[in-house]
Structure 1
Amino acid sequence: MTIVEFLDARLYEDERAAHAASRATGGPQRARADVAAKRRILQSYTETYRACVAAMGDGSGQADGSDTWAALHAWRQALEHLAAIYDTHPDYDPSWQS
């Protein structure tokens, strides 16, 4: 299981549980907004990853003149921080620790 698949599954679970969020934590609307923000982070990582793979294919190592490798590394670190929230889950991979 990849870190993206792991996080996607956890976000799906969080989204299903959002309706039970208490007012003290901002209620269901805030819980759903949190899940949506994390999904956007996953999407941005996936897009950057694809840009890096495409750059490797053309031999340039860069896409659109930007340092996509540094961007990919930064996004990967963000995913590792998000995954750490679920470090007690049986599918969590300790190699994802930053």
Structure 2
Amino acid sequence: MTIVEFLNERLEEDERAAHAASPGTGGPERARADVAAKRGIVEGYTATYRECMDSLNDGAQSAAEEDGAWSALHAWRRALEHLAAVYAAHPDYDSSWKH
């Protein structure tokens, strides 16, 4: 299981549980907004990953542009690792994701 698959499954669970969020935590709307924000991070990583893989295949980027793309991908990956750490007790959590 990839970190993206893992996070998407956990976010699906969180979204299903959002309806039960208490008013003291902002209620269901806030819980759903939190899930949406985390999904945006996962989607940002996925898009950047695709762009990096495409640039490898077409070789159209300069070395500086390629370095920037890989740096961005690394930053997105670190964000995913932070998101996944919340679920470290889950049996599907991979300890290699620990930063």
Taking structure 1 as the reference length, the TM-score comes to 0.93
Specify which structure has the bigger relative contact order, considering alpha-carbon pairs within 8 angstroms and separated by 6 or more residues. 2
Cα deviation for residue 60 of structure 1 reads 4.7
State the number of aligned residues.
97
Q: Give the aligned partner of residue 18 of structure 1.
A: 18
Answering whether residue 53 of structure 2 is matched by residue 58 of structure 1, we say no
Cα deviation for residue 61 of structure 1 reads 5.7
Cα deviation for residue 59 of structure 1 reads 2.6
Q: Give the aligned partner of residue 85 of structure 1.
A: 86
Q: Give the aligned partner of residue 3 of structure 2.
A: 3
Unpaired runs of at least 5, structure 1: none
The answer to whether the Cα contact below 8 Å between 1:52 and 1:61 also exists between their aligned partners in 2 is: no
Taking structure 2 as the reference length, the TM-score comes to 0.92
Q: Whose helix proportion is higher, 1 or 2? A: 2
Aligned identity (percent) is 67
Question: What CA RMSD, in Å, does the superposition of the two structures yield over aligned residues?
Answer: 1.6
Q: Structure 1, residues 3-42: CA drift from partner, whole Å, max 9, x if none?
A: 0000000000000000000011100000000000000111
Amino acid at match of 1:97: K
The answer to whether the Cα contact below 8 Å between 1:42 and 1:79 also exists between their aligned partners in 2 is: yes
